[in-house]
């Protein structure tokens, strides 16, 4: 029973294609948005090296789901599209009741920071 | 002896000129910094921008409302001019669309520096040093436009991102903040509902909100409505950022709260402090129901947003 529980936890934690640091290119105003995805499926987001948001995510195939500390704790569901040898991604909204987040996430194109 | 009488003043003159040249601002930012702290921009030359925007208090001050020339009392609390690069508008009521526009307004405001901008420009052009510096940096004499550009350029350098919270999140340093601050950050986004307005790199969404500090009687600053003319904006003010908030007391547009604990107490149950407010935002219609420990945790989180430069000075 214990072994099954450990396996279940391992199945949803650990590194995935997102684990690590990702950033956008500078916007016309010079803003750089970044996210650090961690192995425990949590993340921290920042703009111009100023962190302000944290949350948890799940990545299953091309489906990315998140909750963060904005948007009243409501989850958002997106299709994630990796490109450039999985070194870049963008997101297409599937279901997110939080309009501001949806607008922001839909515009993001992020590249892995090496 | 006579020879020394001639040589000594000459050497002194060279020394003074060299020291002036050494202090000459090299770019817009340095010129803006000099202007920011120079009383030449106030009518009676007694105050400067830094009189109210004091570096030790994150470029705010410690008064509910600041004093201008001849000790004239201002109308609203002096906001910090740190972390303002991303702002879409300026002043509590958002009356200025650009930082350059904002930079000139306090110079001309009769309750602040009380010097019409054209007179400020005349003064700068009559000053040998400023005349030369503007010529070197802007390739023209001082104008309202380049005066604003210089001050704004300096203000844009006042960004901070070196707080304990930043260290925790950017460097994954879990020891950078207390457990109370970590709990406070969670409360900030959930039970405290703070992120509904204070969300973003500087913990603001740059919106105008009525938090319940307008009752049409003793609290009668109509805020954004005085600019927009829209009745729905009555009592709304720009949501300020929260970086360095611990060093910018007192709080709110009128400086009515002296401590962060008072602010949290107010948000927890606005009716308790201001029972008949008008047009309060729906987010604040019901009490938050924070426990005393939760209030302390929220405060601990807010304290963690203080940049190291202010902690080292204490």
Instruction: Please report the pLDDT score of residue B17 as a whole number.
Output: 46
Give the pLDDT band of residue B23 (cuts 50, 70, 90): confident
Count of CB contacts below 8 A, A vs B? 50
The two three-digit tokens of residue B244, written as one number: 């360095």
Question: What residues of chain B lie within 8 A of the CB of A21, using their CB?
Answer: none
- Residue A74: domain span: 15-112
Q: Is the pLDDT of residue B245 over 50?
A: yes
Residue A48 falls within a domain, yes or no?
A: yes
Q: Is the pLDDT of residue B314 over 80?
A: no
Distance of residue B187 Cα from the nearest chain A Cα, in angstroms: 9
Residue A5 falls within a domain, yes or no?
A: no
Question: What residues of chain B lie within 8 A of the CB of A46, using their CB?
Answer: 169-170, 201
Rounded CA gap, A19 and A37, in Å?
A: 5
For range B132-139, the mean pLDDT: 98
For range B148-156, the mean pLDDT: 98
Last residue of a domain, one of B155, B173, B189: B155
Residue B11 sits in the same domain as residue B62: yes
Residue A9 falls within a domain, yes or no?
A: no
Question: What residues of chain A lie within 8 A of the CB of B204, using their CB?
Answer: none
Tally of residues, chain A: 114
* Top-confidence residue, B106 or B23: B106
Last residue of a domain, one of B155, B180, B208: B155
Catalytic position from the list B100, B112, B155, B299: B112
Low-confidence ranges of chain A (pLDDT < 70): 1-13
Least CB–CB distance from B201: residue in A47, A69, A70: A47
Instruction: Please report the pLDDT score of residue B3 as a whole number.
Output: 53
Instruction: Please report the pLDDT score of residue B243 as a whole number.
Output: 98
- For the stretch B183-224, pLDDT in tens is 999 999 999 999 999 999 999 999 999 999 999 999 999 999
For range B263-280, the mean pLDDT: 97
CATH of the domain at B134: 1.10.760.10
Phi-psi region of B240 (alpha: psi -120 to 50; beta: other; left: phi over 0): beta
Residue A91 falls within a domain, yes or no?
A: yes
Residue B218 sits in the same domain as residue B298: yes
Residue B146 sits in the same domain as residue B46: yes
Residue B110 sits in the same domain as residue B180: no
Catalytic-residue membership of B112: yes
Distance of residue B218 Cα from the nearest chain A Cα, in angstroms: 34
Instruction: Please report the pLDDT score of residue B13 as a whole number.
Output: 44
Residue B119 sits in the same domain as residue B175: no
Residue A7 falls within a domain, yes or no?
A: no
Contacts of A103 (CB under 8 A, 6+ apart): none
For range B40-53, the mean pLDDT: 98
- Residue B107: domain span: 2-155
- For the stretch B220-239, pLDDT in tens is 999 999 999 999 999 999 99
SS3 A1: coil
Residue B128 sits in the same domain as residue B192: no
Residue B169 sits in the same domain as residue B116: no
Residue B121 sits in the same domain as residue B102: yes
Instruction: Please report the pLDDT score of residue A14 as a whole number.
Output: 80
Q: B201, A29: Cβ pair inside 8 Å? A: no
Distance of residue B284 Cα from the nearest chain A Cα, in angstroms: 14
Last residue of a domain, one of B155, B185, B213: B155
- For the stretch B87-132, pLDDT in tens is 999 999 999 999 999 999 999 999 999 999 999 999 999 999 999 9
Residue B217 sits in the same domain as residue B300: yes
Give the pLDDT band of residue B313 (cuts 50, 70, 90): low
Residue B273 sits in the same domain as residue B237: yes
A38, A49, A51: best to mutate for the B interface, most B CBs within 10 A: A51
Asked if A98 has any chain B CB less than 8 Å from its own CB, the reply is no
Distance of residue A73 Cα from the nearest chain B Cα, in angstroms: 7
Count: domains in chain A: 1
Instruction: Please report the pLDDT score of residue A8 as a whole number.
Output: 46
CATH of the domain at A74: 2.40.128.640
Prediction ipTM score: 0.88
Residue B26 sits in the same domain as residue B90: yes
Q: A69, B195: Cβ pair inside 8 Å? A: yes
Count: domains in chain B: 2
Asked if A31 has any chain B CB less than 8 Å from its own CB, the reply is yes
Residue B69 sits in the same domain as residue B143: yes
Question: What residues of chain A lie within 8 A of the CB of B203, using their CB?
Answer: 52
């Amino acid at each position: 029973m214990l072994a099954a529980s450990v396996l279940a936890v391992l199945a949803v934690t650990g590194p995935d294609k997102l684990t690590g640091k990702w950033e956008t290119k500078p916007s016309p105003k010079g803003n750089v948005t970044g996210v650090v995805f961690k192995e425990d499926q949590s993340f921290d987001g920042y703009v111009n090296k100023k962190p302000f948001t944290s949350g948890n995510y799940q990545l299953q195939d091309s489906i990315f789901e998140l909750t963060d500390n904005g948007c009243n704790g409501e989850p958002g569901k997106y299709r994630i599209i990796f490109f450039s040898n999985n070194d870049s991604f963008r997101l297409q909204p599937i279901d997110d009741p939080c309009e501001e987040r949806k607008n922001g996430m839909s515009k993001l194109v992020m590249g892995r920071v090496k | 002896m006579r020879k020394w009488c001639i040589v000594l003043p000459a050497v002194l003159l060279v020394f003074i000129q060299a020291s002036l040249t050494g202090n000459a601002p090299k770019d817009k930012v340095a010129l803006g910094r000099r202007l920011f702290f120079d009383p030449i921009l106030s009518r009676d030359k007694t105050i400067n921008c830094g009189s109210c925007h004091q570096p030790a208090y994150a470029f705010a001050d410690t008064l509910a409302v600041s004093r201008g020339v001849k000790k004239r009392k201002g109308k609203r609390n002096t906001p910090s001019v740190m972390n303002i690069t991303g702002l879409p508008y300026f002043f509590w009521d958002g009356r200025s669309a650009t930082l350059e526009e904002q930079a000139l307004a306090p110079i001309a405001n009769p309750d602040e520096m009380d010097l019409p901008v054209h007179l400020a420009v005349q003064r700068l052009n009559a000053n040998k040093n400023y005349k030369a510096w503007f010529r070197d940096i802007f390739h023209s004499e001082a104008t309202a436009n380049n005066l604003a550009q210089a001050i704004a350029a300096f203000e844009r350098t006042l960004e901070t991102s070196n707080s304990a919270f930043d260290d925790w999140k950017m460097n994954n340093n879990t020891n950078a903040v207390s457990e109370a601050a970590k709990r406070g950050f969670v409360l900030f986004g959930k039970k405290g509902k703070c992120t509904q307005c204070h969300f973003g790199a500087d913990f603001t969404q740059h919106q105008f909100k009525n938090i319940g500090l307008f009752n049409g009687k003793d609290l009668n600053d109509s805020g954004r409505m005085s600019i927009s003319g829209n009745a729905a904006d009555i009592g709304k003010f720009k949501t300020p950022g929260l970086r360095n908030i611990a060093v910018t007391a007192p709080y709110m547009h009128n400086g009515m709260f002296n401590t962060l604990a008072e602010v949290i107490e107010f948000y927890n149950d606005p009716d308790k402090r201001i029972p008949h407010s008008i047009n309060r935002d729906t987010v604040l219609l019901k009490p938050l129901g924070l426990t005393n420990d939760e209030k302390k945790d929220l405060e601990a989180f807010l304290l963690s947003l203080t940049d190291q430069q202010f902690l080292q000075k204490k």
